[in-house]
Amino acid sequence: AQKVTQAQTEISVVEKEDVTLDCVYETRDTTYYLFWYKQPPSGELVFLIRRNSFDEQNEISGRYSWNFQKSTSSFNFTITASQVVDSAVYFCALRKRDNYGQNFVFGPGTRLSVLP
Amino acid sequence: KAGVTQTPRYLIKTRGQQVTLSCSPISGHRSVSWYQQTPGQGLQFLFEYFSETQRNKGNFPGRFSGRQFSNSRSEMNVSTLELGDSALYLCASSLQGRSGMLGDTQYFGPGTRLTVL
């Protein structure tokens, strides 16, 4: 069965600190996609990044960076120089094909609080 | 381009009633998925529609149903509401949603917060 684990339930940092959100996934498939979403207090999930299982290149987008390591089944997310606006719940998700089609499996989320 | 819209944003019902939630996907998106989010269970997949057909279904009782119209707009219905149905219901749309498009990104709406008293 597929599963996504985000071991950090809540993280608090002070503004300008760097913070890494961990994501570990389980799947037997060789073809799958990994996603990160941000959910601010407004409730809407905001898409951040998508990565397929064949692309292990790390990615940087502004203050955000992602480290994908298949060997450890991890897809970690780092925010550099955090800001108060980064405060949100962050979800890691796995998408793979199953007997019924394809489906997202979300992790439980990590609540990040960035304090001024 | 307008994002995914959901109506209503907030809803209060009593046990035993039924409710219908509506979702309008991003223009051009043909696939719509529904999720239930609760503090205890997190984000759970309800079902997915593509071209007016339910293509995928999560592990929810038959009280939860949905449909998709020819313009890709979707509704979900919950009958005989229970207290445990109180949740944020999120709708997501994606461009193609064909079974081969694993990488199809889902874009989420703001959700409908349902409270069952």
The pLDDT score that the predictor gives to residue A84 is: 96
Lowest mean pLDDT among A21-25, A104-108, B4-8: A104-108
Nearest CA in chain B to A93: B43
> In a structure prediction context, what are the per-residue pLDDT tens digits for chain B, which is 117 residues long?
689 999 999 999 999 999 999 999 999 999 899 999 999 889 999 988 988 998 888 889 999 999 999 999 999 999 999 999 999 999 999 887 554 466 778 899 999 999 999
Model confidence over A47-104: pLDDT tens digits? 999 998 988 888 888 999 999 999 999 999 999 999 999 999 999 999 877 655 567 8
| Contact of B37 with B58, CB cutoff 8 Å | no
Residues of B in contact with A43 (CB under 8 A): 88, 90, 110-111, 113
**Residue A31 Cα, gap to closest chain B Cα (Å):** 9
Strand order from edge to edge, sheet including B19-24: B5-7, B19-24, B74-78, B64-68
Q: Any CB–CB contact under 8 A between B70 and chain A?
A: no
CA-wise closest residue to A46 among A8, A88, A102, A98: A88
C-alpha A49/C-alpha B27 separation (Å) is 21
